[in-house]
Structure 1
Amino acid sequence: MLGALDLGLIFGLMALGVYLTFRVLDFPDLTVDGSFTTGAAVAASLIIAGQAPLLATAVGAAAGGVAGLVTGLLHTKGGINPLLAGILTQIALYSINLRIMGKANLPMLRETTLFSGLRDAQLLGSWVSVLILAVVALAFLILVDWFLNTEIGIALQATGDNERMIRAQGVSTDFTKILGLVISNALVGLAGALIAQYQGFADIGMGIGLIVAGLASVIIGQALVVSRRFVFATLAVVVGSVVYRLIIQLALERGFDPNDMKLISAVLVIAALLLPRLGVFRGWRTRRRERLLAKVAREEEARA
């Protein structure tokens, strides 16, 4: 179960990237399945070639950002539909990732990685590794929250909320879209690089269907943590990622076939989307929203 917490925290970085595009930028980016593997492939290849794990991880994240840049350019400069632009980049990345890796699977069990010290001390999947990864996730949460409150970050939010309005204010929405996609896929590539080192291998198929996991994390997290503040919205995404991984782990422990995990992921997303609309949950959500609004009103009165 602690191993699931580890994975949930690492995949939380990927979920943050998905949150930036789908929720903040309102851009349905399907590049994720490819850029995750790109981050893993680049990091694994560099580590095997003898490069420092930290440098390899950073380059893997940068490679994910380049994938997002390509999708952004296809959409903004090429005028290609957002969904199609992401699909085209994702398809191209499959061949590119194979070129980077040289084969379908790169084992790193004998290589020095960021997790080698924890693995040698048999602390992977322990409270020590959970604490370390929680600190890393928290650092990126703070960084993303800070960015979203900068002038560029606010322009990126406005692009997702009302593109025509922010363009009328003289902001280049092409730039904000590209920037958002670069940052999003850099986070996804970073998660891929970390997961490859945590598991001890990079595989060409490790990113297949990952967008569903990212969406599940975002939807589950926002269902559990209701707030209009970005600091809680981004925290909700990581919480959702951890909960999602715990559910997957419980399913495996209950005897489900690992080949069924994609189906379970899809069912989780469908459930998270449909259950709030059912009458039995509507009253609970309404009461929860009313309590939140009452709390905000009291805070505003206290300030006044």
Structure 2
Amino acid sequence: MDIFLGLANDVLMEGFIYAIMAIGVYVTYSVLNFPDLSVDGTFPLGACVTGALILAGVNPWVACVIAFLCGAVAGGITGLLHVRLHITDLLSGILVMTALGSVNLIVTGGKSMLAYYNMGTIFKTGLMAKVPKSAQNWVYAGLALLCCVAVKILVDLFLKTKTGLLLRAAGDNPQYVVSLGKDPGNMKILGLMIGNGCTALAGSILSQRSGSANIWSGSGMVVMALAAVIIGTSIFGRLKFMSITLAVILGTVVYKLCLVLAMQLGLPADDLNLLMAVLLTVALVLNNLAPTGGRRKKPDVNPTQI
């Protein structure tokens, strides 16, 4: 029973943290129709920036904000390469992801990993420091849930603003945005900044949970995020009463559960990336085979709201 509860705690905690990244990828992939590969670089960027800042004595919550901003800058560069220099979307993401490999090494001082196990993090300071040891794991999962819900609410509120509606319109019909006298390219840049900011924030929180930052932690993150988005929107997105961002969160938890179950059944850790690719393939196939009648479409943009 204790083993089962421990696994459930791990699934929920990491699921909620990765869901922050999945929400960001939903903005770029589903809203903007932009296959952003720079996610594999911005996730460890958030972790490395956070590790360096905490070791320098910066407040861990401030480190989260700075990590988000660093990820947003990286996403903005991806957008600029695509929109202003007319480099293809896939290649723009690859260029930024490759460049961030060196940037992350610079941030960590040339080390592949930064350890700060005994330093203050969002899981160890403030009210969290007073939590009894017996309840720490579940309280930590609750904190991860709160962070995830906060990001979800902020993204939902943003997408309902005038700028958010323009962002959605830029993904659906760029020519319509042009007819309004707006630049759809700027909306793409903004969306990429939000998406990569969320990804870096997820890397920051996960890093603080483990007490270390690894420059290779971004491997396979784009596959995980895409699979979570597809699972969430295909399964839970059918429910009309459920917001699409909540569906993405649940999809991430389900995806993480599949990985944990596979590991418990004896799958070697070295084959984890292979399993992630297989799960994404299955999710794509099932999504394509599913009847379209019950699938909820992306919300239409009402011109009068813009």
**How does the TM-score come out when normalised to structure 1?**
0.88
Matched residue of 2:133: which SS?
coil
Structure 1 residue aligned with 2:85: 78
User: Which residue number in structure 2 is paired with residue 25 of structure 1?
Assistant: 32
Structure 2 residue matching 1:208: 3-state secondary structure: coil
Secondary structure at the aligned position of 2:213 is classed as strand
Q: Which residue of 1 aligns with 2:249?
A: 238
Match of 1:108 among 104, 109, 116: 116
Offset of 1:131 from its aligned partner? 2.5
Go from structure 1 to structure 2 and tell me whether the alpha carbon gap of 1:23 and 1:45 turns closer, same or farther (over 3 Å shift).
same
Partner of 2:12: 5
CA separation of 1:182 and 1:231: change in aligned 2, threshold 3 A: farther
Q: What is aligned with 1:267?
A: 278
* 1:155 CA displacement: 0.2
Percent of aligned pairs sharing the same letter: 41
Aligned partner letter, 1:12: A
Which stretch of the first structure deviates more once superposed, 246-255 or 123-132? 123-132
Distance 1:230 1:190, change over 3 A: farther
Matched, 1:35 2:42: yes
CA deviation vs aligned residue, 1:124-150 (integer Å, no higher than 9, x gap): 873322223222211211111110010
- CA distance in 2 between partners of 1:202 and 1:227 (Å): 37
What's the CA shift for 1:209?
1.3
Q: Which runs of 5+ in 1 are unaligned?
A: 294-304
Corresponding residue number in structure 1 for 2:181: 170
Q: CA RMSD in A?
A: 2.1
Q: Which runs of 5+ in 2 are unaligned?
A: 1-6, 298-306
Separation in 2 of the partners of 1:269 and 1:124?
34
1:155 maps to: 166
Match in the other structure for 1:257? 268
- Amino acid across the alignment from 2:90: L
Cα distance in 2, alignment partners of residues 259 and 124 from structure 1: 32
Secondary structure at the aligned position of 2:114 is classed as: strand
Distance 1:101 1:208 in 2: 17
1:229 Cα deviation from its structure 2 partner: 6.7
Alpha carbons of 1:230 and 1:147: their partners in 2 closer, same or farther (altered >3 Å)? Answer: farther
Q: Is the contact between residue 207 and residue 213 of structure 2 (CA under 8 Å) also seen in structure 1?
A: yes
